[in-house]
Structure 1
């Protein structure tokens, strides 16, 4: 099985959306008060905003003619606030592999391609968010050397 990584095109929209939708459905089942079940998780306008930009990238993994994974990246800067050190970092909006192709090293390859992309743009770090319920993702990212930087806490006020 040869996996090829490449920059996504407009024609890849539906395949990318289908892969990200798998993860969205997992999130909607675990946290139905936070995540909706949608047919199109990735809005077309947002997807198109990654085209022809040096500060954004969608990388797809494909086997033959089938897209089996995706990483969506963008460069960011810390907020302009005196208490924060100014920094430039890459943000990994999405990293997803189709369920049938998980645990075959595709996610690791997409992650490494994301690191390489970020380094090429002189990012100081690569950052992402993971929801606490998603233990599989937490283990995956920890295995790659990522560390927890902060947590968002909540209190349900409707009880």
Structure 2
């Protein structure tokens, strides 16, 4: 299988949205009090903002003429609190592979490309959030060397 990575273009919007929607549906099923089922998961304005700013990037994976994966990245600054060391880091908003192409190394290729993108921009780290129910994602990120930095806890008041 020949996988090609490239920067997304405006015409990729529908395919990118479809791939990310698969993950959104999994989240909505696992946590219906937190995630909605949507047709358009990625807002068009948000998608366009990634193509117009040098500190943002959408990397897509193609297999033949079909889009099968996506990574959405942006550079961020740590909050300016005296108690925190100032730093610039890359944030991985989305990393998703179409269900028809999972477990074929595409996610790892997208992750490796994300690391390279972050390093090229001087990021001190690559960070992301993963929901506790999402054991497959946690296993994937552990397999590429990511570690847990912190956990967010909650108490349900309803």
Distance in 2 separating the partners of 1:8 and 1:149: 30
Question: TM-score, normalised to structure 2's length?
Answer: 0.99
| 2:50 matched residue in structure 1 | 50
| 1:24 matched residue in structure 2 | 24
Distance in 1 separating the partners of 2:2 and 2:97: 15
Distance in 2 separating the partners of 1:34 and 1:157: 14
| 1:41 matched residue in structure 2 | 41
- Alpha-carbon shift at residue 51 of structure 1 (Å): 1.0
- Structure 1: state its 5+ residue gaps: none
Aligned pair count reads: 158
Q: Is 2:149 the partner of 1:149?
A: yes
- Alpha-carbon shift at residue 52 of structure 1 (Å): 2.9
Distance in 1 separating the partners of 2:71 and 2:51: 14
- Structure 2: state its 5+ residue gaps: none
- Alpha-carbon shift at residue 61 of structure 1 (Å): 0.0
| 1:116 matched residue in structure 2 | 116
Question: TM-score, normalised to structure 1's length?
Answer: 0.99
Distance in 1 separating the partners of 2:92 and 2:129: 8
What SS does structure 2 have at the residue aligned with 1:47?
Answer: helix
What SS does structure 1 have at the residue aligned with 2:86?
Answer: coil
Distance in 1 separating the partners of 2:50 and 2:103: 27
Distance in 1 separating the partners of 2:37 and 2:53: 30
Distance in 1 separating the partners of 2:52 and 2:83: 34
Distance in 1 separating the partners of 2:113 and 2:37: 29
Aligned pairs for 1:1-159 within 5 A: 1-158=1-158
What SS does structure 2 have at the residue aligned with 1:32?
Answer: coil
Distance in 1 separating the partners of 2:100 and 2:67: 12
Q: Which runs of 4+ in 1 moved over 2 A?
A: none
What SS does structure 1 have at the residue aligned with 2:5?
Answer: strand
